[in-house]
Structure 1
Amino acid sequence: MMLLPWSEIETVLLDMDGTLLDLHFDNYFWLEYLPHCYCKAYKVSYSQAKALIDQECKKVQGTLDWYCLDYWTKLLGLPIIELKQDIANRIQWRKNTELFLARINEMGKQVVLITNAHPSSLALKRSKVNLDPWFDTILSAHDYGYPKESQIFWARLQQQIGFNPEKTLFIDDSLSVLKSAQEYKIKYIYTVLEPDTQQKPQKNNNEFGIIKDYANCF
């Protein structure tokens, strides 16, 4: 990736899962552990449980319900947050993330975490990795009632923290979210090459800059 123009950047907006934290925890939970728990609870096969969860996920993809643990707890009849706690040892930083956060704090940037994660999921992550010291503000899209895929989210975020899109850097691993930020005219937009370090790198199609290692951002 090219060296970022730090002298022109005032605000750094950062996603959490897949951007700061390894997405392996979330992928493992939704794609493997939750289907296992469902088939055990309802006496169906693993493939049936996985197919049902995949089908329900597709129905709400891109909406706040996709991220809402209350929604999934009610729909599946399983204690989602408690199940997440069972495998919370898998929650971990991505390589050199804390180094990156330390450097941008030293530069005096406004640093804000913005995530679509449900508040309970965010609280779990905060209890396992030391997120709070690095950020001026930590926000869940649930606070606004709209996901980052919505332009309303960005308008409300700007109203709350007062960022200038022309002087803002945004890093996220979701293509739909990156396109939403682009529509809102955020100038510096980057994605992450390997959100899940145990999976193959994701395709980018050269739409956005790519971060392979946070240590190379300076």
Structure 2
Amino acid sequence: MLDWQDVDTVMLDMDGTLLDLHYDNHFWLTHLPQRYAQTHGLNLQEAEEQLVKQIDSRRGTLEWYCLNFWSRELQLDIPAVLREIEDRIALRPQTQAFLEALRQMEKHVLLVTNAHPDGLAHKLEITGIDRWMDGIISSHELNHAKESTHFWSALREYVEFEPDRTLFVDDNEHVLAAARDYGIGHLVCIRQPDSRGPLRDITDFPAIHHFEEILAL
């Protein structure tokens, strides 16, 4: 159980934490390979193999999250292709109630995401979650992905917070490890970031399925 008296600042990831990761997974694993194959005259298996090789080589870096980079690399208008399936963008269960509860408790709530500014703006346009935020920070503004400890020191120069009185919720264990190494005091991992994916066994961090597990909703 989390003692909310020990928390002043709440930092929240977006994709897989507040929003259903199904949209992103479907795009990168299903929709993009189809569009890439059509554009470059490949069969689907060839397209999937080429994309996996290119994408995995950048995993955990800022480029991995950069829509401009992938537009150039893949010779596709990635933001436009993302909009083709925007009907799949959705809040995870209890997200709105959780954000409203944080506002009632007068916590300082920050959206801290690796999402590229173009993708971020698109999702905020669809979901409106920015209305509950006191600040929104994309790692692209700080030139480091959240997986890097450099991100966290840069973040503290960008916005005021006390690490030991901060709760950070994310679905990425590598990101949470970097936050732990920096000294963030309260860490929580999401067990099922993709509503159509499995419940994951998280061993290194406290983990929840829904927000009611850390807040009475």
TM-score normalised by length of structure 1: 0.97
- The equivalent residue for 2:88 is 90
Please give the residue correspondences for 1:14-163 in structure 2 after superposition, counting only pairs within 5 Å.
14-163=12-161
Q: What's the secondary structure of 1:180's corresponding residue? A: helix
- The equivalent residue for 1:172 is 170
CA–CA separation in structure 1 for the residues paired with 2:200 and 2:50: 25
What code does the residue aligned with 1:209 have? P
Q: Which moved more, 1:155-164 or 1:59-68?
A: 155-164
The CA deviation at 1:203 is 2.9
The CA deviation at 1:175 is 1.0
Please give the residue correspondences for 1:204-215 in structure 2 after superposition, counting only pairs within 5 Å.
204=202, 206-215=203-212
**Segments of 4+ moved more than 3 angstroms:** none
Aligned residues between the structures: 215
CA–CA separation in structure 1 for the residues paired with 2:138 and 2:201: 26
CA–CA separation in structure 2 for the residues paired with 1:115 and 1:73: 20
CA–CA separation in structure 1 for the residues paired with 2:157 and 2:105: 24
The CA deviation at 1:37 is 0.1
Unaligned runs of at least 5 residues, structure 2: none
Which of the numbers 197, 213, 216 marks the counterpart of 1:216?
Answer: 213
Unaligned runs of at least 5 residues, structure 1: none
CA–CA separation in structure 2 for the residues paired with 1:33 and 1:209: 33
Deviations 1:158-185 (A, max 9, x none): 1222111110100000111010001001
The question of 1:188 aligning with 2:186 is answered yes
The CA deviation at 1:77 is 0.4
Q: What's the secondary structure of 1:191's corresponding residue? A: strand
Q: What's the secondary structure of 2:146's corresponding residue? A: coil
The CA deviation at 1:49 is 0.4
TM-score normalised by length of structure 2: 0.97
What code does the residue aligned with 1:33 have? H
What code does the residue aligned with 1:216 have? E
User: Does structure 2 retain, via aligned residues, the 8 Å contact 1:93–1:129?
Assistant: yes
CA–CA separation in structure 2 for the residues paired with 1:183 and 1:104: 26
RMSD: 0.8
The CA deviation at 1:43 is 1.4
Q: Percent identity at matched positions? A: 38
User: Does structure 2 retain, via aligned residues, the 8 Å contact 1:166–1:187?
Assistant: yes
CA–CA separation in structure 1 for the residues paired with 2:54 and 2:201: 25
